[in-house]
């Protein structure tokens, strides 16, 4: 299953092969609505709310939709929730670029 990897903070966006990249992830089921998101720490900017979603059988419009959902969980977004951000910081590490 192809996966979208997208970081709204720095704009890094790509579609990788059939599995998650190496590293740590925090899963988010989105309350059972739609495809779940796996949040990870962006390798370029350190954002712990960069997200990955399965985009199997989705065209460019669907990929744009997935990007907008991931963007919504970042600071200033519709679904942003500070305690979840703190949880990701605790489990994925600092947002400082390494």
Read off φ and ψ for residue 27, nearest 5 degrees.
-80, 150
User: Can you give the pTM of this predicted structure?
Assistant: 0.89
Which tokens in the block code for residue 36? Answer: 């779940």
Considering the domain boundaries, does residue 43 fall inside one? yes
- Domain count of the fold of the chain: 1
> pLDDT at residue 70 above 70?
yes
Write out pLDDT tens, residues 2-14: 999 999 999 999 9
Beta-carbon contacts of residue 68 (< 8 Å; ≥ 6 apart): none
Considering the domain boundaries, does residue 87 fall inside one? yes
pLDDT at 6: 96
Please give the residue range of the domain that contains residue 45: 3-92
Write out pLDDT tens, residues 40-50: 999 899 999 99
For residue 64, name the pLDDT band (cuts at 50, 70, 90): very high
């Amino acid at each position: 299953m192809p996966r979208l990897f997208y970081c709204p903070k720095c704009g890094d966006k790509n579609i990788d092969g059939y599995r998650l990249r190496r590293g740590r992830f925090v899963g988010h089921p989105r309350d059972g609505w739609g495809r779940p998101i796996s949040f990870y720490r962006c390798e370029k900017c350190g954002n712990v709310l960069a997200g990955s979603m399965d985009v199997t059988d989705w065209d460019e419009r669907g990929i744009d939709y997935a990007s907008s959902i991931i963007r919504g969980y970042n600071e200033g977004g519709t679904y942003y929730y500070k305690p979840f951000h703190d949880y990701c910081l605790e489990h994925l590490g600092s947002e400082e670029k390494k």
